[in-house]
Amino acid sequence: MATTVVIAGADGQLGRELQCTAPTGVRCLGLNRTQLDITDPASIHRCLQELQPAWLLNAAAYTAVDRAEQEEALALQVNAEGAANLATACAERDIRLLQVSTDFVFSGESGRPYQVDAPPEPLGAYGRSKLAGEQAVVSALPEVLILRTGWVYSRFGSNFVKTMLRLMGERDALSVVCDQVGTPTWGRGLAQAAWAAVARPQLHGIYHWSDAGVCSWYDFAVAIAEEGLAGGLLSHAVTVTPIPSSDYPTPARRPAFSVLDKQRSWRDLGLPPHHWRVQLRAMLQDLKDNGHE
């Protein structure tokens, strides 16, 4: 019999990738915000009662990092209260929950990849709201699985890769910060990691997932320019200049170093690491073949 899995936030980057990669033997039901509003307990109750899933994958979130500085209450409502609502409903019905979180729960002061049990210390409102979400789900549902990731991109939705391709199409030169270091994550691989977790129901606790390797946003932008040109998504070469974050002021402070340690995931999820540049190439091919959505 198929395992029924409900996806909250089905129209987002990860929500779409989860639906593209659902394994055989899974009845994958993607619900967007209109169909399932995670801030509304009645909406959650209705969906779970009707669909009776074995798992709920929470890909719904408030992800506007800069806007969150002005809208912290709204970020908390979705990322903390919404996540808590889901966890409470799952606990009442014996449903497994996968909660997605972020590298932005860390301060970025470490010089080594963050282990799953490293103390979080978010710098901004978005990171605080996601950390509050982590704490709320664990308290309502101790067997929850939390998948932390960072720098997610996909052909779906909006993200750094698509922003860069747009700006690079319009300009010959761009400046990008070189003092924020992390690891990009193709949404497709993240979705596969989530499905690997669903296939291993004995797992719970915190897992880290990004692609392999380390880079700055500047390195990432250079790679997008080179791979975009080689793959025919850009028609001209673009000069990318490295700048310090102080030359690109934003409302939210971002961690200087947010590389996640993925050893536990590579071991327990049975998935091999792929270097971020290989994944970028695959995503650009997907974009070329299937277009922006």
Ligand X SMILES: NC(=O)C1=CN([C@@H]2O[C@H](COP(=O)(O)OP(=O)(O)OC[C@H]3O[C@@H](n4cnc5c(N)ncnc54)[C@H](OP(=O)(O)O)[C@@H]3O)[C@@H](O)[C@H]2O)C=CC1
Indicate which single residue of 16, 155, 162, 254 sits in contact with ligand TDO (rule: CB under 6 A).
254
Q: Which residues bind ligand X (CB under 6 A)?
A: 8-9, 11-15, 33, 36-39, 59-63, 78, 82, 100, 102, 130, 149-152, 157
Q: 185 has which bridge partners?
A: 152
Sheet holding 26-31, edge to edge: 26-31, 3-8, 55-58, 96-102, 145-149, 205-208
Could you give the string, one character per residue 9-48, with x where binding to ligand TDO holds by CB under 6 A and - elsewhere? ----------------------------------------
In terms of phi and psi (left: phi > 0; alpha: psi -120 to 50; beta: otherwise), the region of 24 is beta
Could you give the string, one character per residue 72-111, with x where binding to ligand TDO holds by CB under 6 A and - elsewhere? ------------------------------xxx-------
Contact between 180 and ligand TDO by CB under 6 A: the answer reads yes
Smallest distance from the beta carbon of 195 to ligand TDO, in angstroms?
Answer: 21
* Residue 126 is a catalytic residue: yes
Catalytic residue of the set 114, 126, 153, 207: 126
Q: 243 has which bridge partners?
A: 177
Q: Where are the beta strands (DSSP E) in 16-107?
A: 26-31, 55-58, 96-102
Nearest to 58 by CA among 71, 76, 74, 44: 44
Q: Which stretch binds ligand TDO (CB under 6 A): 68-76, 77-85, 147-155, 187-195?
A: 147-155
Q: Structure tokens of 101?
A: 């979180």
Residue 8 binds what, of ligand TDO, ligand X, none (CB under 5 to 8 Å, by partner type)? ligand X
Contact between 160 and ligand TDO by CB under 6 A: the answer reads yes
φ, ψ of residue 65 in degrees (nearest 5): -60, -45
Contact between 122 and ligand TDO by CB under 6 A: the answer reads no
Q: Is the CB of 53 or the CB of 124 nearer to ligand TDO?
A: 124
Q: 173 has which bridge partners?
A: 239
CA distance 14 to 20: 10
Contact between 214 and ligand TDO by CB under 6 A: the answer reads no
Annotated catalytic sites, by residue?
Answer: 126
